Amino acid sequence: MKFAVLVFPGSNCDLDMYHAIKDELGEEAEYVWHDTKDLSSYDGILLPGGFSYGDYLRCGAIARSSNVMTEVVKAAEAGKPILGVCNGFQILTEAGLLPGALLRNKNLKFMCRTVDLKVVNNNTQFTNQYAKDEIIKVPIAHGEGNYYCDEDTLQSLKDNNQIVFTYSSENPNGSLEDIAGIVNERGNVLGMMPHPERAVNELIGGADGLAVFKSIVKQWRESHVNQA
């Protein structure tokens, strides 16, 4: 499976994404610059964390207008798996690929620590290697991770089982309903604030995040075997 790791001016977790795919899973990965106009050769798209364009205007607001985002929308419409982490999640909401918005943390401070997440929905192409309601430990590092949406959108997320991860032992940023990650209705676009790519090896404090990437690869391989 071949992944595109998107790189915007200010991205700082692209190396972590690349490492998770290339070194931990042994799959193909390439860095793809924000002005790229063709993603058709990639099977999966990864939007890393960081501070794209310095987080000016709003987090992800400028990045969503990059050339490559037109191609990300096309990839989403084609059903390809797309994962946005932290700033990548913010970009996906700005682009309209996921509902809601990420606001300033409730305490108005940047936070960087490991948190407990509950896998609310393990029936997605991003979580099929987890057990339902499994508690995993994944780092966070953000100043604007407070997920918000209106009441109708929240009800829709619940009705369609789109809430994938919630904060378990604590809600570090004030997110509505403890939401830490959601998918689109089709289930091929996941946005999450915690960083699974920073939890892929016990040597760096834990490997609970690796199953996110394993899940993507497993689903892709199974779908291609069925097509064959």
Q: What does the pLDDT average to over 21-38?
A: 97
Q: What does the pLDDT average to over 45-51?
A: 97
Say what the pLDDT of residue 207 is: 98
Say what the pLDDT of residue 225 is: 73
Q: Which domain holds residue 92?
A: 2-227
Residue 228 has pLDDT above 60, yes or no: no
Task: Output 28 or 223, whichever has higher pLDDT.
Answer: 28
Q: How many CA atoms are closer than 13 Å to the CA of 19, on its beta-carbon side?
A: 14
Task: Check if the beta carbon of residue 146 is closer than 8 Å to that of residue 93.
Answer: no
Residue 16 has pLDDT above 80, yes or no: yes
What rounded mean pLDDT belongs to the chain?
A: 96
Question: Is residue 197 among the annotated active site residues?
Answer: yes
Longest dimension (CA), the chain: 52
Question: Is residue 224 among the annotated active site residues?
Answer: no
Hey, is 187 helix, strand or coil?
coil
Give pLDDT tens digits for 160-209: 999 999 999 999 999 999 999 999 999 999 999 999 999 999 998 999 99
- Could you tell me which residues come within 8 angstroms of residue 218 by beta carbon, excluding any fewer than 6 positions away? 128, 129
Indicate which residue of 13, 86, 94, 149 is catalytic: 86
Question: Is residue 195 among the annotated active site residues?
Answer: yes
Residue ranges of the alpha helices (H) in the chain?
Answer: 14-19, 67-77, 87-94, 151-159, 210-227
Count of the separate structural domains present in the chain: 1
Would you mind telling me the total number of residues written for the chain in this entry?
228
Say what the pLDDT of residue 227 is: 66
Taken in order 43, 45, 46, 50, the sign of the CA dihedral is: positive
Give pLDDT tens digits for 94-116: 999 999 999 999 999 999 999 99
Apex 29 CA angle, 40 and 19, nearest 5: 155
Q: What is the CATH number of the domain that holds 112?
A: 3.40.50.880
Task: Check if the beta carbon of residue 115 is closer than 8 Å to that of residue 137.
Answer: yes
d(CA 91, CA 98): 9
Say what the pLDDT of residue 185 is: 97
Rg value, the chain, Cα? 16
Residue 129 has pLDDT above 60, yes or no: yes
* Amino acid letter, residue 34: H
- If you count DSSP H runs as helices and E runs as strands, how many of each does the chain have, helices first? 5, 11
Closest CA to 14 of 51, 62, 65, 55: 51
Indicate which residue of 19, 34, 142, 195 is catalytic: 195
Indicate which residue of 27, 94, 144, 197 is catalytic: 197
Say what the pLDDT of residue 57 is: 86
Task: Check if the beta carbon of residue 83 is closer than 8 Å to that of residue 114.
Answer: no
Residue 12 has pLDDT above 90, yes or no: yes
Q: What does the pLDDT average to over 4-29?
A: 97
